[in-house]
């Protein structure tokens, strides 16, 4: 070990760590630099089968350092070599990652032939020691174990999912242009350029929430759920397939950054949810998204959003409104980690030209000439309409590779409730169905605002005593109430700082976490004195280790570990549900920890039946029960 690191030191010390951001020195002769992006590229070997055309394989490439085309080609050549070699022995499961002493390569075959390849330079610790000859020597240790494969792989999957939901598949883009890859290259560049360079891989980014990439659901009680459902069904009923005219096929209801209900298929749920949340402007609070490089990406998104921000209408006739504080202003200040702003690439794609809906549509239809207005193309700038439309690509059928373009019409309610309805852009025959998007949106707003209870809904718990006949207002009120309750209860579940937990439901991707913010250096999970919940990065990575065990060992149902610093970490799995728990009481015994776990799991696992009644898995949350379960 000594020998190898010493050998490495010789080279590493000679090459300046220019690409490593902010190496930090501590007093004891240690210099650490975090892991950082080396390069990211997307390629498809099918596009350049010969030596002469090889460069056409490369669809996108970004690196910290400018490199020659040759260097780029060498890298994707290596990538293909590794992938092909792995395929000899593992023909079905492609190469996922490659560990080397200094770097980590991560692969994701997003679509057949289309590879995303990320290279990360590992973090280092340099320490100066006295050599045998008495001269100080620098020994570099590469922190291989601080880049967790599960997190990085999840990043690539998420990045692609976001691309697909805003652009459709890469293959369809190439296909739409008769095999010309230029438009795809441009889209990829627009999508990734501001984003990728902000990817961070230091230890604070290695957390379980990112690896799981769950969705935050708003816990609803049954009455609220039924009200929401009634509202959604009413809209769908009104815009059902009648042979002509726009059809609402899917819906998604969110409250701030939380998902209330949706019938988008599971494969697309995360990405659509993120997109809707972003569209509605509550993404800043989303804890599932990747941190942008605070300075750079923050600046970029600010600029681009500004173009829209000024045209944003806050007036509201029907009570829809957009909170300017939380929406049109992207974080101009660095977002707090890890609850940083959604890594949305959308801002960079938008252009002013794309604002009007007609362009949105044509762009969505794939005219490469017209910039695609996928963002918050505000429909009625002057007329005070508050719905907005943006194209989203997702599939109709479970497990189908195909994705179809939809116009997502988002209606914002001032309470924070967002209703999003999706209309396929093309009907079954392939004809465009939305001739006049703007008027359609207006019509839909009016329809929704005009919805009333068939019979006045008496809500005995509403307290205010007044019952509105507006279904929308009523739903909003109930949802807000549930949200407040959940917030209160959430605090109660574990106000004990020595016990943290994370709940994840693989079925509907629901996640609920009380883990705390990861501190860069902390070795244990104890809270900082400031009262903020801090989580040691060691602990955070130990959670990832357990997740990895669950992934690799399908029959494992419970894993309990105790670290040398005596905190306990428990992972428990029951069918599709997983609970992770940290008990940092140092004197706890295995049996005591089990008691804590039992208490917590009784909240989540034993209430399956309650949440299972809901029709769509996405609408039922594991948490609906938490409202009724006494502490």
Partner 1 sequence: MLSPDMSTSATASSFTSPIQSATSPRLMPTKSRPTTALVFGEQAESLQPHLLPPPLQDTESLSSDDFVLSASSGSTAAAGAPAAAGNDNHSKTPSARSGLKTMPSGSSSQDDHSSESGDDADGRLTDTESEQGRARNRIGTPVIAGRSNNHHHHQGTTEHGTVSALQSLREIEEHDHEGRQTQLQGLESRFRTTTLAAQDQDLTSEGGDSTTESDTQPKSAMDPTQIQGKSVHMMITLYQLKVLRPKPSSGSVGNNSVSSRPKSRLQRTPSMQSYDSDDISNNHGGYQKHYGDEDHTTSAWTEHRKHFFILSSAGKPIYARYGDESRISSYMGVIQALISFFADNDDTLRCINAGEHRFVFLLKAPLYLVCVSRSGESESQLRDQLGYLYAQIISVLTQSQMTRIFEQRNNFDLRGLIGGTEIFLDSLGKLMNTYPGFMLGAIQCLTMPRELRDKVGAVLGRAKCKPLLYALLVTPTQLITLLRPRTHSMHPADLHLIFNLLSGSTTFESSESWTPICLPKFNNKSFLHAYICYIAKKVCMLLISPDKDSFFEMSNVKQKVVEGLEAGGMLASLESYAAAGTRGGFSVGDTGIPGLRHFLYKSRINVQFTMPELTEPYATTTARKRLLRQYQHMNERMHRKTRPLKLLFHVGEQETMLGWITSGFELYAAFGPLVSKSAVVLMSNKLLKWIRKQEDSLLILNSPSFEKFK
Contacting residues toward partner 1, per CB under 8 A: 4, 11, 15, 78, 81-82, 85-103, 144-146, 149, 538, 541-542, 545, 549, 552-553, 555-564, 566, 589-591, 594
- DSSP one-letter code for 534: E
Least distance (Å) between residue 144 CB and partner 1: 8
Q: What is the dihedral of CA 519, 521, 523, 529, to 10 degrees?
A: -50
Q: Which is nearer to partner 1, 125 or 285 (CB)?
A: 125
Which residues, at least 6 apart from 334, have a Cβ–Cβ distance to it below 8 Å?
Answer: 294, 295, 298, 340
Q: Which is nearer to partner 1, 151 or 457 (CB)?
A: 151
Which sign does the torsion angle of CA 352, 353, 359, 363 carry?
negative
Least distance (Å) between residue 545 CB and partner 1: 6
Least distance (Å) between residue 291 CB and partner 1: 22
Q: Which is nearer to partner 1, 559 or 629 (CB)?
A: 559
Q: Which is nearer to partner 1, 206 or 292 (CB)?
A: 206
Distance CA 444, CA 446 (A): 5
**Beta-carbon neighbour count of residue 603 at 10 Å?**
19
Q: Which is nearer to partner 1, 218 or 583 (CB)?
A: 583
Residue 17, SS3? coil
Axis crossing angle, helix 149-167 with helix 266-280, rounded to the nearest 10: 70
Q: Which is nearer to partner 1, 559 or 610 (CB)?
A: 559
- DSSP one-letter code for 341: P
Q: Which is nearer to partner 1, 89 or 458 (CB)?
A: 89
Least distance (Å) between residue 431 CB and partner 1: 43
Distance CA 47, CA 351 (A): 30
DSSP readout, 160-184? HHHHHHHH--HHHHHHHTTT--HHH
Q: Which is nearer to partner 1, 5 or 316 (CB)?
A: 5
Which residues, at least 6 apart from 101, have a Cβ–Cβ distance to it below 8 Å?
Answer: 4, 8, 142, 144
Q: Which is nearer to partner 1, 145 or 240 (CB)?
A: 145
- Tokens representing 302 are 């600010």
- Tokens representing 496 are 């004990």
Least distance (Å) between residue 547 CB and partner 1: 13
Least distance (Å) between residue 286 CB and partner 1: 28
- Tokens representing 384 are 């005070």
Distance CA 404, CA 396 (A): 7
Q: Which is nearer to partner 1, 92 or 244 (CB)?
A: 92
Least distance (Å) between residue 217 CB and partner 1: 28
Which residues, at least 6 apart from 597, have a Cβ–Cβ distance to it below 8 Å?
Answer: 570, 572, 579, 581
Query: Contact, 113 vs 79, CB < 8 A?
Result: no
Q: Which is nearer to partner 1, 189 or 549 (CB)?
A: 549
- DSSP one-letter code for 47: G
Least distance (Å) between residue 4 CB and partner 1: 8
Q: Which is nearer to partner 1, 443 or 549 (CB)?
A: 549
Least distance (Å) between residue 247 CB and partner 1: 40
**Region of residue 625 (left: phi > 0; alpha: psi -120 to 50; beta: else):** alpha
Q: Which is nearer to partner 1, 152 or 472 (CB)?
A: 152
**Region of residue 575 (left: phi > 0; alpha: psi -120 to 50; beta: else):** left
Least distance (Å) between residue 38 CB and partner 1: 11
Least distance (Å) between residue 354 CB and partner 1: 41
Least distance (Å) between residue 585 CB and partner 1: 15
Least distance (Å) between residue 93 CB and partner 1: 2
Query: Contact, 372 vs 392, CB < 8 A?
Result: no
Least distance (Å) between residue 11 CB and partner 1: 5
Phi, psi of 514 (to 5 degrees): -135, 80
Count CA atoms within 13 Å of residue 224 on its CB side.
28
Q: Which is nearer to partner 1, 457 or 541 (CB)?
A: 541
**Beta-carbon neighbour count of residue 29 at 10 Å?**
12
Least distance (Å) between residue 560 CB and partner 1: 4
| Residue with token string 């189908």 | 400
The alpha helices in 216-286, defined as continuous H runs, are 222-238, 266-280
Q: Which is nearer to partner 1, 171 or 545 (CB)?
A: 545
**Beta-carbon neighbour count of residue 610 at 10 Å?**
17
Residue 411, SS3? strand
Q: Would you call 413 exposed, middle or buried from its count of C-beta atoms within 10 A (0-12, 13-18, 19+)?
A: buried
Q: Using omega within 30 degrees of 0 as the cis cutoff, is the peptide bond preceding 338 cis?
A: yes
Closest alpha carbon to 630 in 609, 603, 597, 610: 603
Closest alpha carbon to 441 in 406, 408, 396: 408
Least distance (Å) between residue 99 CB and partner 1: 4
Q: Which is nearer to partner 1, 119 or 286 (CB)?
A: 119
Please provide the distance, in angstroms rounded to a whole number, between the alpha carbons at the two ends of the chain: 51
């Amino acid at each position: 070990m000594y020998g190898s690191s010493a050998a490495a030191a010789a080279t590493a010390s000679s090459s300046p760590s220019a690409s490593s951001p902010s190496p930090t020195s501590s007093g004891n002769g240690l210099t650490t630099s975090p892991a950082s992006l080396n390069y990211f590229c997307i390629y498809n070997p099918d596009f350049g089968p010969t030596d002469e055309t090889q460069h056409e394989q490369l669809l996108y490439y970004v690196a910290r350092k400018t490199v020659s085309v040759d260097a780029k080609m060498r890298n994707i050549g290596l990538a293909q070599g590794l992938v092909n070699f792995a395929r000899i022995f593992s023909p079905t499961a492609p190469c996922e990652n490659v560990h080397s002493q200094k770097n980590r390569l991560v692969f994701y075959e997003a679509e057949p032939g289309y590879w995303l390849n990320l290279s990360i330079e590992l973090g280092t610790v340099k320490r100066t020691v006295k050599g045998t000859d008495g001269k100080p020597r620098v020994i570099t240790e590469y922190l291989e174990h601080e880049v967790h494969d599960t997190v990085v792989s999840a990043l690539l999957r998420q990045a692609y999912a976001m691309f697909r939901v805003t652009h459709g598949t890469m293959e369809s883009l190439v296909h739409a242009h008769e095999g010309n890859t230029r438009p795809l290259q441009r889209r990829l560049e627009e999508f990734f350029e501001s984003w990728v360079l902000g990817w961070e891989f230091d230890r604070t980014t290695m957390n379980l929430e990112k690896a799981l990439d769950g969705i935050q659901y708003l816990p609803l009680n049954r009455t609220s759920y039924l009200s929401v459902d009634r509202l959604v069904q009413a809209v769908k009923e009104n815009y059902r397939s009648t042979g002509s005219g726009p059809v609402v096929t899917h819906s998604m209801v969110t409250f701030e950054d939380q998902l209330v209900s949706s019938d988008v298929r599971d494969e697309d749920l995360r990405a659509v949810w993120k997109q809707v949340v972003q569209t509605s402007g509550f993404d800043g609070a989303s804890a599932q998204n990747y941190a942008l490089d605070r300075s750079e990406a923050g600046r970029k998104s600010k600029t681009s959003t500004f173009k829209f921000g000024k045209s944003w209408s806050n007036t509201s006739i029907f009570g829809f409104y957009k909170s300017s504080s939380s929406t049109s202003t992207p974080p101009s200040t660095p977002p707090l980690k890890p609850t940083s702003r959604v890594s949305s690439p959308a801002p960079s794609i938008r252009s002013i030209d794309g604002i009007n809906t007609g362009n949105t549509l044509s762009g969505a239809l794939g005219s490469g000439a017209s910039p695609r207005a996928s963002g918050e193309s505000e429909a009625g700038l002057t007329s005070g309409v508050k719905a907005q439309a943006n194209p989203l690509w997702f599939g109709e059928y479970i497990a189908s590779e195909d994705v179809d373009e939809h116009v997502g019409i988002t209606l914002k309610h001032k309470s924070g409730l967002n209703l999003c309805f999706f209309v396929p852009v093309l009907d079954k025959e392939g004809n465009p169905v939305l001739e006049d998007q703007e008027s359609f949106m207006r019509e839909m707003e009016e329809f929704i605002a005009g919805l009333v209870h068939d019979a006045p809904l008496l809500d005995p718990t509403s307290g205010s005593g007044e019952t509105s006949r507006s279904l929308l207002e009523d739903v909003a009120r109930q949802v807000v109430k549930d949200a407040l309750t959940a917030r209160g209860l959430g605090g109660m579940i574990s106000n004990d700082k020595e016990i943290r937990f994370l709940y994840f439901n693989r079925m509907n991707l629901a996640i609920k976490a009380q883990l705390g913010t990861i501190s860069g250096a902390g070795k244990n999970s104890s809270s900082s004195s400031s009262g903020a919940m801090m989580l040691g990065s060691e602990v955070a990575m130990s959670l990832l280790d357990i997740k990895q065990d669950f992934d690799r060992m399908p029959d494992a149902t419970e894993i309990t570990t105790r670290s040398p610093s005596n905190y306990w970490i428990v992972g428990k799995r029951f069918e599709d549900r997983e609970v992770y728990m940290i008990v940092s009481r140092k004197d706890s015994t295995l049996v005591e920890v089990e008691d804590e776990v039992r208490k917590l799991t009784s909240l989540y696992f034993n209430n399956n039946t309650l949440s299972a009644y809901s029709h769509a898995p996405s609408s039922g949350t594991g948490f609906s029960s938490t409202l009724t379960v006494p502490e």
